[in-house]
Structure 1
């Protein structure tokens, strides 16, 4: 399922973080569209390459921001980021080594889409309160 940016539910109050979230959602939706049109494997490779780079830039921005603002969600955020980093690295290794069957690509799509929405809407949005202080 495609993800729709919802300003009310997803905004963190930090413009750069919100723009990066929107870019990640845009890339996820490209992957979703490619899967729907039978182009999943190529799109998966591009998406996962983007996410690997993204975890090294966006996650660093977000983790630094949470630390500077003394956000109570900082530890949970770091743990969630590290878990996704490990999962993405493992998936990318399998994708390069032997490709992934369609069933695995569908599972990745669902898991990643759920993770993004849940993470942004439950952990990242806690930045709002910290920005207001």
Structure 2
């Protein structure tokens, strides 16, 4: 299952003095259809192999946000939230034969663990 379209779009703003920076990322995965239902015999899309359930996945968007603060010359602090809106991945009840997706979703394409929040610091000395 490959999407017809997927993209990542990141935009970043940094203040003129470099003390604050914010970055917003939009990850998009287009709709997916099982190769069995494609109608293309070259990739296995024959009528006898067509699925009747869980053969199509709607498109999904994920949004990530990162904030960075330069507290002092040698100290910076970062806050990061991936999958900011805690979007649930699509569930594929019969995912056993879909490209090693044994977890009822496709973890290589979707955030299967939900929102991920991290805090980091950089100290130079």
TM over 0.5: no
State TM-score, norm by structure 2: 0.30
State TM-score, norm by structure 1: 0.29
Highest CA radius of gyration, 1 or 2?
2
Structure richer in helix, relative to its length:
1
